């Protein structure tokens, strides 16, 4: 029995994807080589959808703040420890100053081993997957290439690589979509609606960041009271 046989049932692709995401890089590449030997289409489809920490770091700041404000500060600081200072500065720029300072202070105080850093990176990736399943992050907006079609196992068995839904063929681009709630055929009005949606997402991200900052302040106040 081939390696892929157990994953060809519904849901198997995502199970295999999670296995690859939680494997060390060397082991992951070994798995992918075995998969490519059985089915290049599966290997390509999996490789395109593997969630890595560098991929997360490449997302826009409005999505990063959703993640960083929900991840434990120590986990984030350990995951970022040893990264280039300019990258750390860029990534943490989405957070309020006090939250950013707490992360950088923790980075200065801690000295995680490579294994500890790897564990924290894996934890962040696991939490990001959780945020996606909870609807906190929507991959069609954040990173459409990561979307996994519901029947991807069947599509791969029928033939070839599966193009992510958001990147579909010209047919999708040319055929007019029926208007959903909040959409309009007037280009000017649609631009205004899109602007308001972006603004709403930005405000929601800022609210989450402020909640995180408030939590940090509460922790500091509790520590001060203990000292007093």
Mean pLDDT of 159-178: 48
What pTM does this model have?
Answer: 0.67
Mean pLDDT of the chain: 82
* Measured CA distances, 49 to 11, 110, 121, 201 (Å): 14, 32, 17, 25
Place 170 in a pLDDT band, splitting at 50, 70 and 90: very low
pLDDT tens digits for range 83-141: 999 999 999 999 999 999 999 999 999 999 999 999 999 999 999 999 999 999 999 99
User: Is the model's pLDDT at 150 over the cut of 70?
Assistant: yes
What distance separates the 2 farthest-apart alpha carbons in the chain? 69
d(Cα 91, Cα 110) in Å, to the nearest integer? 19
| Confidence at 174, pLDDT banded by 50, 70, 90 | very low
Work out the percent of the chain whose per-residue pLDDT is above 90. 59
Per-residue pLDDT, 103:
96
CA gap 133, 130 in Å, rounded:
5
Higher-confidence residue: 186 or 155?
155
């Amino acid at each position: 029995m081939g390696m892929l046989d157990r994953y060809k049932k519904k849901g198997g692709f995502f199970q295999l994807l999670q296995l690859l995401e939680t494997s060390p890089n060397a082991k992951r590449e070994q798995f992918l080589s075995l998969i490519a030997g059985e089915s290049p289409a599966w290997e390509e489809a999996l490789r395109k959808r593997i969630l890595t920490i560098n991929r997360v770091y490449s997302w826009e700041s409005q999505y990063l703040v959703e993640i960083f404000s929900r991840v434990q500060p120590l986990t984030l600081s350990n995951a970022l420890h040893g990264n280039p200072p300019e990258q750390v500065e860029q990534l943490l720029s989405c957070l309020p100053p006090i939250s950013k300072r707490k992360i950088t202070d923790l980075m200065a105080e801690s000295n995680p081993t490579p294994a500890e850093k790897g564990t924290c990176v894996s934890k962040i990736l696991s939490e990001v997957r959780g945020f996606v399943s909870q609807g906190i992050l929507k991959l069609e907006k954040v990173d459409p290439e990561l979307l996994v079609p519901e029947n991807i196992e069947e599509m791969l068995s029928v033939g070839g690589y599966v193009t992510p839904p958001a990147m579909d063929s010209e047919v999708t681009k040319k055929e007019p979509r029926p208007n959903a709630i909040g959409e309009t055929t007037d280009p000017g009005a649609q631009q205004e609606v899109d602007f308001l949606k972006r603004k709403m997402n930005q405000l929601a991200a800022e609210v989450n960041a402020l909640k995180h900052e408030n939590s940090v302040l509460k922790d500091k106040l509790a520590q001060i009271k203990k000292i007093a």
